[in-house]
A and B are shown apart, each in its own frame.
Chain A
Amino acid sequence: MNIVVLIKQVPGNSDVKLDPKTGNLIREGIDAIINPDDLQALETAITLKETLGAKVTVLTMGPPQAIDALSEAIGMGADGAILLSDRAFAGADTWATSFTLGKAIQRIGKFDLILAGRQAIDGDTAQVGPQVAECLDLPQVTYVFDIETVENGYVRVKRRLEDGYERIQCSLPALLTIIGGPVKPRYPEVASLLSACHAKAPIQVWNAADIGVTTADVGMSGSFTQVVKTFAPKFERHGELLEGSAVEVVHNLIERLKQNKLI
């Protein structure tokens, strides 16, 4: 079985801030990590490799430093990795991203399962997985938290819904988006991690020409949506601080709740 895992490198802590003067993102001093849902997808793929036997190829699109995420993936047990990196890919929305990833997967050629995280913590869109599935005309199941079986050309999975879950059978090849389940992603092994950083590591870097796309179809130029404005959210209210003993503050609070007909 051939599995392709889509991962994204994202800022490691969510304390991303806007410069109050310029409105730009402050990026200094922020670690990059593999997006948590994607890490779960990777763990799922490696588990399938161990139980059923599979070749796991990891694919990411990003700047040159995203290669760190691929080394980590190989350290966890992936067999090979591909970095899509080209200035032309920059500024892509999910439309252009899914097209670019779709083209790269077509070049990889052989696959039975494509696994992706449900969503990335920087964009939170959850769009790229389903859009890649549609690009490649594959069936999809999103919000998957358990893969029951992969046999006879079908995969059986559990899909999370707001009030329970569905058990779904889906023909292969298919794309699944993965959410966190009971299994925590493993840590990379030191030996594999070291070999992944070696010059002969099975990591390839592909650019726009390698996957046969023109610059007009990818990145900012290939996108339908544009950010027209970014701003820091405003939450402040003019609050009143109630002071005194517990009895006093509670008395004052109940007065205010009554005045506003809340109780």
Chain B
Amino acid sequence: MAVWVEIDLCDGCRRCKRECPYDAIEIKDGKAQIGDRCTCCGACLEVCHHKAIHTDIQPKTIPDFSEYKGIWVFAEQRGGNLTRVSVELLGKAQELAKQLNEEVSAVLIGHHVADLADTLIQFGADLVYLADGEIFGNYRSEPYSYVLDELIKAYKPSILLMGATHIGRDLAPRVSRRTGSGLTADCTELSIDREEGILLQTRPAFGGNVMATIANRFSRPQMATVRPGVMEVVPTPGKEGVVITHESKVTEDQVRTKILEFVKEESPHVDLSKAKIIVAGGRGVNDLEGFGLLHELASALGAEIAGTRVAVEAGWISAANQVGQTGVTVRPELYVACGVSGAIQHRAGMMDSRFIVAINKDPYAPIFKVADWGIVGDLFDVIPELTKGLKTSCEVMCD
């Protein structure tokens, strides 16, 4: 298989070079040359005005998927509590379903979890597929992927969404391989291509420096995991839905893992993705003492505290409080970034905040580009003043 250039027809217009997603084409002596990085994707063929690029690759045909319908959301629960991302996904699923004129279904797997079905309906599910059994008591890769595969084969959904949580990222690839579907990880944006009626999945890559939109034309369901905290919850109070109970064939002797115990971590778990106000610190906070100032500001604002990767690695704050590409994605009403330079990895986790305040000594810090209000100054002066100011303004209001 190859792609090659008919040199005589090529006028070196560079269109193919610009189009190549793999940077595999060079223009040498006014002619296009295809290099080692070529993956035979064929993107260059379509843009060549002189039909100078040729290939021996047979175009891949798209199978008929007309019987695959509906948008499914995996309703992740632990100990009978739904994770917030499951409800967020139902919000997005409603929007996608409207465009496709299809139904939203939730897949609920667990033991004694039937009560959650109604909650799922109140957040947008038209249908709930319920697999309830002792074997599903605690999440394990094998029984959960077996039952999801059974359901997919029986009911043929067009789209399947899961939260990009530790469970979702364990389960989704397993199901994808078992079912024979492509999968896109950690999406931050989902939309429907109106012409083809397919799901367009957008996700950050290369640490957030590049956004990539990915399509899954050749398999069903179109599977994606989605970052928690990115999609909006859309309640549907009073909605009525249908619960379909599924009896799975999976038995304990097919399962090769056993959970010996669950150890809850001592540090109080803060769910930053739910916080209304967040005060975050980065390298510029200097030390634990500096973070003390941030804690005071946070308590004056009624805010949660967060940090950048640097702050976590320095031990100023726990890893659960890290915002960014490798941490949590947040979208609070107000995000106060103190001594945060605003590396792209950090911005990727907080750029959807409604309002952003940045306090930094360096006027060229990239955080100012995303800030609504920027203060160039020493945070050791500004933050105590701000804490004091907030306390007095509160007292004035309380009087």
Contacts and interface: CB of A to CB of B under 8 A. Distances in A.
Contacts of B370: 235-237, 239
B183 A127 contact: yes
B398 interface: no
B154 interface: no
Contact of A160 (B166, B214, B219, B355): B166
B204 interface: yes
A142 B39 CA distance: 31
Place the interface of chain B in its size category: 35 or more
A241 B41 contact: no
Interface in B24-57: 36-41, 57
A168 B260 contact: yes
A206 to B, nearest CB: 18
Contacts of A260: 355
B151 interface: no
A205 interface: no
Given A167-B261, A232-B211, A219 B23 contact: no
A131 B382 CA distance: 51
Secondary structure of the A contact surface, majority rule: mixed
Contacts of A253: 357, 373, 375, 386
Interface stretch (B87-95, B98-106, B122-130, B173-181): B173-181
A259 to B, nearest CB: 11
A161 B357 CA distance: 32
Contact of B212 (A27, A161, A229): A229
Interface in B283-309: 301
B258 interface: yes
Contacts of A220: 39-41
A225 B182 contact: yes
Interface stretch (B14-22, B65-73, B111-119): B14-22
A243 B216 CA distance: 50
A239 B145 CA distance: 47
Interface stretch (A51-59, A90-98, A107-115, A183-191): A90-98
Contacts of A90: 22, 37-40
B207 A230 contact: no
Interface residues of A, number: 91
Contact of A22 (B17, B205, B257, B373): B17
B389 A254 contact: yes
Interface stretch (A1-9, A11-19, A70-78, A196-204): A11-19
B159 interface: no
Interface string A142-184: 1100000000000010011111111111110010000000000
Interface stretch (B4-12, B230-238, B239-247, B262-270): B262-270
Contacts of B219: 224
A27 B23 contact: yes
19 contacts: A24-B21, A121-B207, A130-B173, A133-B141, A135-B177, A141-B141, A142-B170, A166-B263, A169-B257, A219-B39, A223-B182, A227-B21, A233-B204, A233-B208, A239-B370, A239-B373, A242-B373, A246-B382, A249-B382
Contacts of A135: 177
Interface in A115-135: 121-131, 133-135
B358 to A, nearest CB: 8
Given A135-B177, A142-B169, A258-B393, 9 more contacts: A21-B18, A27-B23, A131-B177, A141-B141, A167-B262, A230-B211, A231-B213, A239-B373, A246-B382
A74 B390 CA distance: 59
Contacts of B259: 166-168
Contacts of B358: 239
B206 A25 contact: yes
A88 interface: yes
A228 B214 contact: yes
A140 interface: yes
A174 B269 CA distance: 31
Contacts of A194: none
User: Which 3 A-B pairs rank lowest in CB-CB distance, beginning with the nearest?
Assistant: A224-B182, A91-B39, A14-B207
Contact of A165 (B165, B173, B263): B263
A89 B253 CA distance: 37
A130 B215 contact: no
B214 to A, nearest CB: 5
B277 interface: yes
A134 B174 contact: yes
A142 B369 CA distance: 37
